[in-house]
Amino acid sequence: MCPVYCVYFVAQIGLPYLQPTMLERIACLAVVASLHAVAYICGLLVIKRHEAGEPLLEDERDRAIDGRATRTAYFILLTGMIVVGMVMPFNNSGWELVNAALFFIVLTETARYALILIGYRQPRLAH
Cα separation, 2 vs 51, in Å, equals 25
pLDDT of residue 97: 92
| Series of mean pLDDT values for 10-residue runs along the chain (127 residues) | 84 79 85 91 87 74 90 95 92 88 94 92 67
**pTM of the complete model:** 0.79
pLDDT of residue 71: 95
The single-letter code of the amino acid at 16 is P
Cα separation, 101 vs 81, in Å, equals 7
Residues in Cβ contact with 99 at an 8 Å cutoff, skipping those fewer than 6 apart: 9, 12
